[in-house]
Structure 1
Amino acid sequence: MTKLSVNINKIATLRNSRGGDTPNLVQFAKDVQRFGAQGVTIHPRPDERHIRYQDAYNLKPVVHTEYNIEGNPISKFVDMVLEIKPTQVTLVPDSIDTLTSNAGWDTIKNKDFLTEVISEFKRNNIRTSIFVDPILSQIEGAKATGANRIELYTESFAHQYNIGNKDEIKQYTQCAELSNSIGLGVNAGHDLSLDNIQFFKQHIPELLEVSIGHALISESLYLGIENVVNMYLNKLK
């Protein structure tokens, strides 16, 4: 079964909008795990517009499933990850002013940098994943850095699926097949939803984990968080 990691950035955004502690991020992380989620994902950014760096520390004692911290490996981020030692770190090439993740790494151009960062994380027994576009050469480049996994950037799949073009999945299937053949684990995330997750899962061999936040939280406004978590789990079986 593919694991569901719930990205709780949007809960932090809602909390920050009023300046208090409602909803409580730590309690929400406890609850989604109690409802069945097999992981919690956060993506702190330098301006702390949703997840704050302190949140990453506060969550460590309560995430008893898989703890996945995403982000651009600037010095502050690297230091935080090495202190917390989450289950997994997912490297994402966000610029400071990026609203949300919008591209994968060029693993060939950035090979030396990624190799150095990943080596440090692996020395500290932290599983590493690289956010990549569904391009075969970038999968090969990710393998050359020493990463444990890749996370397929699924925005183009989600967009094309929404307008009826299901052929977009083919490049993702090919990338997953290549990853599996060279010993890279396969994760996926970005714009996956209740509408498209089952189709995606069915076409991605050995899909280990999906990280879902925006859609899951939005769907929960209508259907309730416990119900939505279990709907995803059923679709990922």
Structure 2
Amino acid sequence: MTKLSVNINKIATLRNARGGNNPNVVKVALDCERFGAQGITVHPRPDERHIRYQDVLDLAPVLHTEFNIEGYPDKRYMELIKKVKPIQATLVPDPPDAITSNSGWDTITHQEFLKDIVAELKETGTRVSIFINPDPKFFEPAKTIGTDRVELYTEPYATLYPTDKEKAVKPYVEVAHLAKELGLGLNAGHDLDLHNLKFLKESIPFLDEVSIGHALVCDALYYGLENTIQMYRRQLDL
């Protein structure tokens, strides 16, 4: 089974646009779980333009599904993970001013840095995943780093999907099988939506988890949050 983790960053963006606490991020997260989400993902950035560090502290004790905290492993992120001890920490190479994640780790160049970070995080009992591009050369080093999982950066897949879905998914299928051979768990995320998710799942049936936020929240404006989560679940429950 491939789990659906709902990224609630955009819910926090909406709240922050007006101030106050509407929508209530904690309530929305709990409702997402109640509506069928099998995990909640957040990405607290240093400028707190969406999820705030306090949101993470508020969410941690009340969530019932898997809590996944994404971020660049700076001092503040590392301290947060050690304090919260989420089920999963997903490491991304974003600089602080990035609008959104736009590439995976170069696990060759940053191998020693990531190896130390992963070991430090795993001491807390947290499962570690690293954001990675669909290039085979990065997977052996990822295994050496000691990460439990890799998360496939799927924007290139989503971009090419409308014109040539077979070509779009081919590199992902290749590296997915390589990850499986190496004993790495497999997540995926970025620009996945109701149009391209099912084909990715059909092509890589052993995906452990997908993390989806922007598209899911946009769809919820039309279909409602509960219905939208169920629609996404149906793309995965093949």
Shorter-chain TM-score: which interval?
A: over 0.9
Q: What's the counterpart of residue 169 of structure 2?
A: 169
Q: How far is the alpha carbon of 1:206 from its aligned partner?
A: 1.1
After the TM superposition, which parts of structure 1 deviate over 4 Å for at least 4 consecutive aligned residues?
Answer: none
Q: What is the TM-score when the length of structure 1 is the normalising length?
A: 0.99
Counterpart in the other structure of 2:2: 2
Q: Deviations over 1:46-73 (max 9, x none)?
A: 1100000111100001211000000000
Q: How many residues align?
A: 237
Cα deviation code 1:174-221 (max 9, x no counterpart):
111000011000000000000110001011141000000000000010
Cα distance in 2 between the residues matched to 1:62 and 1:16: 22
Hey, what does 2:184 align to over in structure 1?
Answer: 184
One-letter code aligned to 2:166: K
| Contact kept? 1:6, 1:211, Cα under 8 Å | yes
- Give the structure 2 partner of residue 74 of structure 1: 74
Structure 2 letter corresponding to 1:132: I
Unaligned runs of 5+ residues in structure 2 are none
Work out the CA distance in 2 between the residues paired with 1:155 and 1:163.
14
Match of 1:123 in 2: 123
> Do structure 1's residue 199 and structure 2's residue 208 form an aligned pair?
no
Q: Output aligned runs, 1:216-235, within 5 Å.
A: 216-235=216-235
Distance 2:96 2:163 in 1: 31
Show the 5 A alignment for 1:79-98: 79-98=79-98
Task: Give 5+ residue unaligned stretches, structure 1.
Answer: none
Whole-Å Cα distance in 2 between the matches of residues 131 and 163 of structure 1? 25
Partner of 1:135: 135
Q: CA deviation at 1:86?
A: 0.2
Q: CA RMSD in A?
A: 0.8
The structural deviation recorded for 1:173 is: 0.4
CA distance in 1, matches of 2:165, 2:213: 23
What's the TM-score once normalised by structure 2's chain length? 0.98
